[in-house]
């Protein structure tokens, strides 16, 4: 437990107070910069849909190349009940927003407008045929329901929320359509919805989280002044982390909004533990010496706990999903900075304004239970664990094995329906549009005709038209669109009349080639002419995108190989292959970041305990929550998404915190010659209540975010709460059971740097 010191000299007290005033003066001087950086970080918000996709992969490069050649068309789809081909409000809205708007949208497509173009020369497509071609794209299955598709401009992309708000305002002022009357979809709407939810989380949920954390802290430690000091430390640390984000050029996004509450509750957790050491130092060494002695006794476990937490979070920097990578980097930096603030700011405040209520009744511990009933309960619990240590250890290991089987069945997802709550407006809008218009998620097939291909422009159009017709027969294909959709009906017969018609039509089509290029259906590349076929699939539902893409490959590739000409190939790109790649990448990120975090944290444990055996054995209780929670997800079929990936490594780092503190008190008692069971009871007395308090504070502070409508944040909140609860069980039941048994001899022999 450490040596008992005599009274501190008056000169030392004066020197300590001078240092404390210097520290607080520096804090005061840096405070304006921290506030400026915090406000700047909170105001920055970037939720570009492309940032959720993996970077540096072949699939991403293909999609980038596709956008460069065919255009970057970020769309907003708008419709409403009664939005039909004869509704004048369709063209009114399109013209008002594009022609008289702020420039957020560069052009618009409507069902009536495209029908007029298709039925007029030179296409001269019959009206019924034109409607059939547009069904599932811009016209619904009933042949009447339509929509307006707005193409976002560069100005609109800079502020998607403002672009959507302008659309809603224009629809109401020009067409009498209230926001609740409209159904909206597309990448612009997805990003704007995330932006709005980000602001709500920052403005509402983060504040509520902080208030709850404060009151739980106050309730648990029963000292308003100490709670206020802990809160001030946590607020400053959080502001410092946000300032680093801002001044380094980073931006907030919906995932990054979890940075401030996470740093806040983790700093509270560390501060509560340091307060625990301060409480004991007041009892043993007096108020004047308490800050210095608390720092001396608590620096090792607090630094190691923060280090492992930073390692767990920092391992997310290996992710190829940009928001997860950024969250991992900035949260790790924030945790590292918070421990510095903790060791400098908190002792300085306690030196100048000590918690005198701790002296009034030194026997009454603000953390540990003091009543006879509570002490009796503590004795019974430690005795029960010591008596049944083999059964408890075996049960925990067996539970890990059973749950571990479920890890093999984990699956990941980044689908739209798993990003937003089932009852959210955006999901309701997508569901209505897919039922009344058609599928909204595209897969792009690019047919390339090399210079070696002898086909004429007309023959290429014939092939693309035929291939498009064949694709529509495949399962899960809701609609297709290509240059052939807007071309005149091609005569396919072998009669003299059809041959003559083809001969007459070929030069007319060739003459309009530039029109198809301008419309984004044909692109010219070095040595190749590329034709685009858009295949639409439902955004909602159970379509397996990997299986769907593979079916397309297996269908098209043999056709191309059997062609009588050379130089024809196919490329598959678009949102669907990227979504599938992101799904696989999420699982890879989860595995890689976790094993990196586990390896580094295990090495830290080995160094801290000065024993490879002790270090590896101490990881078992920390693996316990990860295996149990993720194993349960595998057994129950709960899908892994972005929020889930963030929790495993973070929870591992956080779980080790309490392990360090428990082993610190256990080792100190053991070094005093106490038997193992007495050492375990001593550790319980000294830190079990603080461990429970920190887990409760973190859980309550993070559980608030389960109220979000963005499902990755909801999953992050609930999983962190579940992992923290399981980690507390591992540290207060599984670990003491191991220490009570034969494995405890390994810990007793090691000379930990924690003592």
Which range has highest mean pLDDT (219-223, 556-560, 584-588)? 556-560
Specify which residues 412 forms β-bridges with: 640
Same domain? 171 vs 197: no
User: Who contacts 95 (Cβ-Cβ below 8 Å, separation ≥6)?
Assistant: 108
Nearest residue to 156 (alpha-carbon basis) of 50, 73, 60: 73
Strands (E), 192-253: none
The values of phi and psi at residue 448, to 5°, are: -100, 130
Identify the residue with better confidence: 577 or 670.
Answer: 670
Identify the residue with better confidence: 18 or 609.
Answer: 18
User: Model confidence over 451-488: pLDDT tens digits?
Assistant: 889 999 999 999 999 999 999 899 888 899 999 998 88
What is the pLDDT of the chain when averaged over all its residues? Answer: 84
For residue 359, what pLDDT band results from cuts at 50, 70 and 90? low
Nearest residue to 138 (alpha-carbon basis) of 117, 104, 165, 109: 109
Give alpha helix (H) positions in 89-186: 89-99, 111-119, 127-134, 154-158, 160-175
Strands (E), 250-294: none
Cα separation, 624 vs 603, whole angstroms: 18
The region of weakest confidence among 17-31, 46-60, 150-164, 638-652 is: 46-60
User: Model confidence over 403-416: pLDDT tens digits?
Assistant: 999 988 888 776 66
Give alpha helix (H) positions in 637-703: 642-671, 676-683, 689-703
- Mean pLDDT computed over 248-267: 83
Which range has highest mean pLDDT (22-31, 301-310, 701-710)? 22-31
Nearest residue to 532 (alpha-carbon basis) of 59, 65, 58: 65
- pLDDT for 25: 94
Nearest residue to 276 (alpha-carbon basis) of 233, 234, 238, 223: 223
Residue 365: pLDDT over 50: no
Same domain? 324 vs 461: no
**Conformational region of residue 272, where left means phi above 0, alpha means psi within -120 to 50, and beta covers everything else:** alpha
User: Who contacts 512 (Cβ-Cβ below 8 Å, separation ≥6)?
Assistant: 122
Is 710 within a domain? yes
- Mean pLDDT computed over 719-743: 89
Residue pair 430/440 in contact (Cβ under 8 Å)? The answer is yes
Residue 576: pLDDT over 80: no
Domain end, chosen from 135, 167, 185, is at 185
- pLDDT for 377: 66
Cα distances from 520 to residues 175, 489, 738, in angstroms, run 30, 20, 66
Is 729 within a domain? yes
Residue 295: pLDDT over 50: yes
Domain end, chosen from 185, 207, 237, is at 185
Is 650 within a domain? yes
Same domain? 574 vs 551: yes
Residue 588: pLDDT over 70: yes
Nearest residue to 657 (alpha-carbon basis) of 710, 596, 735, 581: 735
Same domain? 467 vs 561: yes
Cα-Cα-Cα-Cα torsion 665, 667, 672, 675, nearest 10 degrees, comes to: 100
Same domain? 211 vs 169: no
Is 455 within a domain? yes
Residue 49: pLDDT over 60: no
Percentage of the residues of the chain whose pLDDT score is greater than 70:
91
The whole domain housing 96 covers 74-185
Identify the residue with better confidence: 651 or 706.
Answer: 706
- Mean pLDDT computed over 619-633: 90
Identify the residue with better confidence: 258 or 149.
Answer: 149
For residue 726, what pLDDT band results from cuts at 50, 70 and 90? very high
Is 586 within a domain? no
CB atoms within 10 A of CB 46: 16
Which range has highest mean pLDDT (218-222, 269-273, 447-451, 486-490)? 447-451
User: Model confidence over 232-249: pLDDT tens digits?
Assistant: 999 999 999 999 999 998
Global pTM? Answer: 0.78
Is 378 within a domain? yes
Residue 1: pLDDT over 50: no
- pLDDT for 213: 85
The DSSP 8-state label assigned to residue 743 in this structure reads: T
Residue 585: pLDDT over 80: no
Same domain? 170 vs 218: no
- pLDDT for 580: 67
User: Who contacts 87 (Cβ-Cβ below 8 Å, separation ≥6)?
Assistant: 146
- Token pair 């990054």: residue: 256
Identify the residue with better confidence: 30 or 156.
Answer: 30
Number of domains in the chain: 3
Determine how β-strand 568-574 pairs with β-strand 528-537.
Answer: unpaired
Q: Exposed, middle or buried: residue 201 (CB in 10 Å: 0-12, 13-18, 19+)?
A: buried
- pLDDT for 36: 94
Cα-Cα-Cα-Cα torsion 640, 413, 184, 104, nearest 10 degrees, comes to: 100
Is 603 within a domain? no
- Mean pLDDT computed over 311-336: 87
Residue 301: pLDDT over 50: yes
- pLDDT for 729: 93
Q: Exposed, middle or buried: residue 735 (CB in 10 Å: 0-12, 13-18, 19+)?
A: buried
The DSSP 8-state label assigned to residue 489 in this structure reads: P
Same domain? 456 vs 562: yes
- pLDDT for 362: 46
The values of phi and psi at residue 664, to 5°, are: -60, -50
Same domain? 672 vs 527: no
- pLDDT for 652: 77
- pLDDT for 368: 44
- Grouping H, G, I as helix, E, B as strand and the rest as coil, residue 151 is strand
Count CA within 13 A, CB hemisphere, residue 117.
14
Is 335 within a domain? yes
Residue 370: pLDDT over 60: no
- pLDDT for 47: 64
Same domain? 30 vs 86: no
Instruction: Give me the CATH number covering residue 509.
Output: 3.30.70
Domain end, chosen from 136, 165, 185, is at 185
- pLDDT for 251: 81
């Amino acid at each position: 437990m450490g040596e008992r010191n005599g009274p501190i000299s008056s000169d030392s007290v004066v020197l300590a107070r001078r240092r404390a005033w210097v520290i607080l003066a520096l804090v005061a001087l840096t405070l304006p910069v921290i506030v400026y950086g915090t406000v700047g970080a909170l105001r920055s918000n970037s939720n570009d849909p492309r940032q959720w996709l993996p970077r540096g992969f072949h699939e991403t490069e293909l999609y980038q190349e596709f956008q460069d050649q065919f255009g970057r068309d970020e769309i907003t789809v708008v419709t409403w009940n009664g939005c039909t081909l004869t509704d004048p409000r369709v063209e009114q809205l399109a013209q008002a927003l594009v022609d008289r708007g702020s420039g957020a949208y560069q052009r618009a497509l409507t069902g009536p407008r495209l029908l007029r173009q298709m039925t007029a020369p030179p296409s001269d497509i019959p009206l019924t045929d034109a409607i059939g071609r547009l069904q599932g794209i811009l016209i619904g299955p009933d042949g009447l329901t339509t929509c307006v598709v707005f193409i976002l401009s560069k100005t609109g992309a800079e502020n998607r929320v403002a672009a959507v708000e302008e659309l809603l305002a224009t629809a109401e002022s020009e067409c009498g359509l209230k926001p609740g009357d409209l159904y909206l979809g597309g990448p612009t709407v997805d990003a704007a919805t995330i932006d709005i939810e980000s602001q709500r989380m920052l403005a509402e949920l983060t504040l509520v989280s902080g208030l709850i954390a404060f009151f739980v802290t106050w309730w648990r430690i029963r000292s308003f002044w100490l709670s206020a000091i802990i809160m001030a430390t946590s607020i400053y640390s959080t502001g410092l982390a946000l300032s680093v984000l801002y001044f380094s050029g980073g931006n907030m996004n919906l995932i990054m909004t979890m940075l401030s509450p996470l740093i806040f509750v983790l700093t509270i957790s560390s501060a509560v533990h340091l307060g625990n050491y301060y409480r004991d130092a007041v009892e043993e060494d007096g108020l004047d010496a308490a800050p210095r002695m608390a720092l001396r006794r608590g620096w090792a476990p607090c630094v190691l706990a923060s280090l492992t937490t930073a390692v767990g979070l920092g391992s997310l920097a290996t992710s190829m999903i940009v928001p997860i990578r950024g969250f991992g980097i900035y949260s790790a930096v924030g945790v590292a900075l918070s421990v510095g603030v903790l060791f400098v700011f908190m002792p300085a405040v306690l030196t100048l304004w000590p918690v005198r209520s701790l002296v009034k009744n030194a026997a009454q511990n603000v953390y540990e239970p003091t009543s006879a009933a509570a002490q009796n309960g503590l004795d019974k619990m430690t005795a029960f664990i010591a008596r049944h240590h083999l059964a408890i250890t075996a049960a925990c290991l067996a539970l890990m094995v059973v749950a571990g089987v479920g890890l093999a069945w984990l699956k990941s997802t980044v689908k739209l329906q798993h990003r937003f709550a089932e009852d959210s407006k955006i999901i309701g809008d997508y569901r209505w549009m897919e039922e009344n218009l058609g599928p909204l998620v595209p897969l792009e097939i690019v047919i390339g005709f090399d210079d070696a291909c002898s086909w004429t422009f007309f023959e290429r159009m014939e092939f693309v038209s035929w291939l498009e017709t064949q694709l529509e027969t495949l399962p899960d294909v809701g609609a297709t669109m290509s240059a052939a959709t807007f071309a005149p009906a091609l005569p396919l017969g072998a009669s003299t009349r059809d041959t003559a018609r083809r001969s007459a039509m070929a030069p007319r089509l060739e003459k309009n080639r530039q029109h198809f290029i301008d419309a984004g259906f044909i692109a010219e590349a070095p040595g190749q002419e590329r034709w685009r076929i858009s295949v639409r699939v439902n955004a909602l539902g159970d379509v397996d995108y990997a299986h769907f893409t593979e079916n397309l490959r297996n269908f098209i590739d043999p056709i191309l190989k059997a062609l009588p000409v050379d130089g024809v190939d196919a490329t598959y790109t678009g949102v669907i292959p990227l979504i599938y790649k992101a799904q696989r990448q999420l699982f890879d990120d989860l595995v890689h970041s976790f094993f990196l975090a586990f390896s580094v944290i295990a090495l830290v444990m080995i160094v801290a305990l000065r024993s490879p055996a002790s270090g590896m054995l101490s990881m078992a209780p920390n693996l316990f929550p990860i295996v149990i929670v993720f194993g349960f997800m595998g057994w129950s079929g709960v899908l892994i998404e972005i929020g889930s990936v963030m929790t495993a490594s973070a929870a591992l780092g956080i779980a080790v915190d309490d392990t360090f503190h428990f082993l610190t008190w256990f080792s100190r008692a053991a070094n005093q010659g106490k038997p193992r069971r007495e050492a375990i009871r001593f550790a319980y007395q000294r830190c079990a209540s603080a461990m429970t308090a920190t887990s409760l504070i973190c859980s309550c502070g993070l559980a608030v975010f389960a109220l979000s409508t963005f499902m990755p944040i909801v999953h992050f909140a609930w999983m962190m709460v579940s992992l923290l609860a399981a980690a507390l069980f591992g540290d207060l039941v599984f670990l003491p059971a191991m220490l009570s048994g034969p494995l405890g001899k390994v810990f007793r022999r090691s000379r930990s740097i924690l003592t």
